[in-house]
Each structure stands twice: as structure tokens, then as C-alpha cells.
Amino acid sequence: MRNSALTTAVIVLIVVFTLGTLSSGALACSACEVQDLVGTAVQQQGFYRLVEAIVAADLTEELAAEGPFTLFAPSDEAFAALPAGLWTELLEDPEALAELLRRHVLPGRYSAADLMEWAGHDMQTLSGQTLHITVDSVEVFVNGSTMTATNILASNGFIHQIDAVLLPAE
């Protein structure tokens, strides 16, 4: 049985070194160059499990491509709220994990304002699934999940933090 905490730490370090986000021994800085989606997620607080999932699903190159993309990024708390055992099950099945993560990515660069214009419409993800965008006052929802941080700029798109993992409907 593998040590999950050690494995996670090693994965994140590999991503950090691979993406070149270490500068003078420190992680990310506000003066650093804008990174792609994965590098930007590494630089942000609260996306530790997302980065672990991207690496485990072998999607680093795909999400570092030119794009543009819009990533609905579940927070660490969203991953922690998954049903018992599902996180471990996903990490052990890279194909299923990749499919789930592609469900969180739209082809195209959509700001929060752009998404507000799409309220009431469905948008197709990289997995071929659709996401339904709704707006209530000034909040934007994606399949019922609230966007809690928006317009995190990446060189190849935007990241919008969401408060739930977008699981397929059963």
C-alpha cells in the first residue's frame, strides 16, 4: 500500500520542477511570468488535489497546450467532500480520472462575464459532456456548483474555482 501523503508530495514536486515554477528556491511570485493552466494551478492556494489529479491522470501536457481553455477547478475542499473512497478509487484509475477532469474543461477562453452571458445554456467540455451555466444575482453556477473565485489568468485560458467536483449524473 502506498503512502498517499508522500506520493502526493512527490507528485507536486515533480510538477513544480517540470513546469519551472521554482525561482530562487521559492514557489511562484506575483512578478513571475503567467503560466499555463497547470502552472497557474500550482501557483494558487487551494488546488493541491487538483494538481495531484492532473498529474495522476497524465493530463499535464494536454492542459499546458496552446488552447485556449477554461478550467473549472474544484478546490481542495471540493475534492475532500467526495464520497468516501472515491478519491482513492479515482487516483487508482487514471483513465476514469482523466475523463472526470476533462469534464471540468471547456475549449475556449471564457471569463466570468462571458459565462454570465451563457446563463441558461449548455456548453460542451473536452469530455464531450455538457455543463449547464446559470446565474443568480452576481454568482455564476456550473451544474449547480458555485464559482468561488473567477478569472484566474493563465497563458492558455482562465481558471474559475468551484466548490464541488462535477461528477457525472447517475
Domains, the chain: 4-109+152-162 (2.30.180.10)
The C-alpha cell that represents 139 in the structure block: 454568482
Assess contact for 140 and 128: CB atoms under 8 A: no
Per residue in 73-109, pLDDT (tens digit) is 999 999 999 998 999 999 999 999 999 999 999 999 9
Q: How far apart are CA 66 and CA 37, in angstroms?
A: 10
Assess contact for 146 and 139: CB atoms under 8 A: yes
The C-alpha cell that represents 84 in the structure block: 468516501
Per residue in 109-149, pLDDT (tens digit) is 999 999 999 999 999 999 999 999 999 987 999 999 999 99
Q: Is the pTM of this model over 0.85?
A: no
Q: How far apart are CA 21 and CA 18, in angstroms?
A: 8
In sequence order, which residues have a C-beta less than 8 Å from that of residue 135 and are 6 or more positions away? 116, 119, 141
